[in-house]
Amino acid sequence: MLGILYDVHGNLPALEAVLAEAEGEGIDEWLLGGDYCAFGPWPVETLARLRQLEPATWLRGNGERWLVDPPTEMAAEQRAFIFAALASAIAELPAQDVDALVGLPTLAEREDAFYCHGSPLSDVESFPPVPAEEDLRLLAGVKERQVVFGHSHLQFRRGGPAETDLVNPGSVGMPLDGDPRAGWAIRREEGDLELRRTAYDVTPAVAKMRAYDWGERVAQRLLHGRDP
């Protein structure tokens, strides 16, 4: 049985709650879809906990790539927030961990599904919850497959073009779909994929985020499951 975790973002209490629930499900393999540490309160501890999950397939998200290749084409306020959050993560993570995260693969084509962070095309362009003109471009040639992706922190499942089944397990550490519970998924032995939500106490994470001068935006996301 496969546990599927995306967008943990350094939120250790959310991760621990999910893992406690997963323990009762008999999960014996993991798919980790990127964005593990940055923009969250416990980057080092979260990475250490994820490394205890074996066997696991790890993918690189934009949050890992941005540790060495941060974005620049955006509004000044958004850029300032992103750069401050990345600087905090870089200051806490050992250099060898940064190198290891940046070197992770971006895609995993397994028998059960095609896994990526944002889409087969990009780690920062993701499928929306409703069909869009961009869907076919984002598939980048993938067809007749289930495509599992994250990045947008919105949990949903829908049909896509070229007979694809598009699945976003949601975000473990920072949901943005109006539900602050941790989002993740299980693939059962018969192949069925089940979307899950797990409640946890957000109070410690909110308090820790407010200790960062850039952290109030994240604190509000944790509290309300959406952007402030």
Proportion of the chain above pLDDT 90, given as a percent: 96
* pLDDT confidence of residue 196: 98
Tell me the residue ranges of DSSP E strands in 72-216. Answer: 107-109, 114-116, 146-148, 156-160, 164-168, 182-187, 193-198
Nearest CA to 127 out of 163, 108, 155 is that of: 155
Lowest mean pLDDT among 50-54, 155-159, 186-190, 206-210: 186-190
* pLDDT confidence of residue 169: 98
Nearest CA to 208 out of 199, 219, 200, 198 is that of: 219
- Whole-number mean pLDDT of the chain? 97
For residue 176, pLDDT over 90 is answered with yes
Number of alpha helices (DSSP H) and beta strands (DSSP E) in the chain: 8, 10
* Residue-number span of the structural domain to which 166 is assigned: 2-224
Banded pLDDT at 191 (limits 50, 70, 90): confident
Banded pLDDT at 72 (limits 50, 70, 90): confident
For residue 17, pLDDT over 90 is answered with yes
Q: Judge contact between 150 and 126, C-beta under 8 A.
A: yes
Mean local confidence (pLDDT), 161-173: 97
pLDDT digits 0-9 by tens, 87-134: 999 999 999 999 999 999 999 999 999 999 999 999 999 999 999 999
* pLDDT confidence of residue 46: 98
For residue 218, pLDDT over 90 is answered with yes
* pLDDT confidence of residue 104: 98
Number of domains comprising the chain: 1
Quickly list H helices, 11-143.
12-23, 43-50, 62-65, 76-92, 95-102, 135-139
Angstrom distance (rounded) from CA 215 to CA 219: 6
Q: Judge contact between 200 and 206, C-beta under 8 A.
A: no
Banded pLDDT at 228 (limits 50, 70, 90): confident
Mean local confidence (pLDDT), 144-150: 97
* pLDDT confidence of residue 74: 86
Residue 213's CATH number: 3.60.21.10
For residue 85, pLDDT over 90 is answered with yes
For residue 41, pLDDT over 90 is answered with yes
Banded pLDDT at 213 (limits 50, 70, 90): very high
Nearest CA to 17 out of 156, 223, 180, 149 is that of: 180
Mean local confidence (pLDDT), 27-31: 96
